[in-house]
Amino acid sequence: MPLSEQEQRLLEEMERSLYQNDADFVATSARRRGRTNYTLVVVGVLVGVLGVAALIAGVIIRQPLVGVLGFAIMFVGVMLAIAPPRRTAADSDATAKPTRGRARSGSSSRFMDTLNDRWDRRQDGRD
């Protein structure tokens, strides 16, 4: 069933808002993220595999305490692997300059508006 004229306008308005807000979200979240520590991910995976082995060993030898310890080890390994990266001094310096990013937000908004207008024209068959 095709959308009515009002529903189509509402959808387009929501898309424009999403694109604008999404760009703002990406700009703010990029400053918060650090570099991924692959060593910590590998250690976490290895600890998780060790925990699974201990869990299986606990089941095989019918010792609940070994199984519970294996589960705890596995949990710690997973937490190490998926933990958010820690900030370094270089990351802190990069986030200490918010004025540059804010100055660009106006031009970024205009760029997104231009892209949205081009997209709308293409969807209407005018381009």
pLDDT value for 87: 61
Q: How many whole angstroms separate alpha carbon 109 and alpha carbon 117? A: 12
Helix (H, G, I), strand (E, B) or coil at 60: helix
pTM of the model: 0.46
Q: Which DSSP string do the residues of 67-126 spell out, in sequence order?
A: HHHHHHHHHHHHHHHHSPPPP-HHHHHHHT-HHHHHHHHHHHHHHHHHHHHHHHHHHHT-
Radius of gyration of the chain (CA): 25
pLDDT recorded at residue 27 = 63
- In 3D space, the residue among 117, 101, 124, 127 whose CA is nearest the CA of residue 26 turns out to be 101
- pLDDT of the residue at 76: 94
**Predicted pLDDT at 11:** 84
Residues of the chain with pLDDT below 50 are 97-104
Cα–Cα distances in Å, from 103 out to 22, 25, 100? 18, 16, 5
Length of the chain: 127
The single-letter DSSP state of residue 103 is H
Give the position of tokens 């250690």.
Answer: 43
Residue 50: the pLDDT is 96
pLDDT at 99: 47
pLDDT at 26: 60
